[in-house]
Amino acid sequence: MRIAVYPGTFDPVTFGHLDVIKRAGKLFDRVIVAVVNNPQKQPFFSLEERKSFLEAETKDLGFVEIDSFQGLLAEYALKKAAVAIVRGLRELSDFEFEFQSAIVNRKLGKGIETVLVVTDEKFFFLNSSIVKEISSFGGKVSDFVPKSVEAALKKRFSH
């Protein structure tokens, strides 16, 4: 079984993230969507909320497992017997960071490859920070995130 890890903060999950998950499913038998638990960062949604959003949106995708981790990505990928790390690319500016990370993860992960998946062009501009900003001003985010995420954002910003 060819296993890949797709790491991220997913704060919150967007349609762009879901697009990358589906594309990765065409390449790998199993895709572990690994929510990063970084104690130095203050995410908008809790780890449990982020995992819950992902579980709800991927429940019909039989190849997906939702998990979380803390620490080095390469070590986590080795522990999960992954052959690759999946990263989404939206625009050219993503490439430089992802390229450097891929080299480091290959060294730390004893040869684990990184597969860069280009998201659908309709999601090139989309990221979680933009979604939170739009929502904070009461803007419509239904074209960017699942309904459960949209509702959670509205609720959080209404207080």
The catalytically annotated residue of 23, 30, 51, 90 is 90
Residues in the chain: 159
The catalytically annotated residue of 26, 41, 110, 159 is 41
Residue pair 145/131 in contact (Cβ under 8 Å)? The answer is yes
The catalytically annotated residue of 23, 50, 51, 128 is 128
Rounded Cα distance, 38 and 99, in Å: 22
17 is catalytic: yes
2's tokens: 């060819």
The catalytically annotated residue of 17, 23, 30, 132 is 17
Question: Among the residues of 28-88, which ranges form H helices?
Answer: 47-58, 73-79
159 is catalytic: no
Catalytic residues: 17, 41, 90, 128
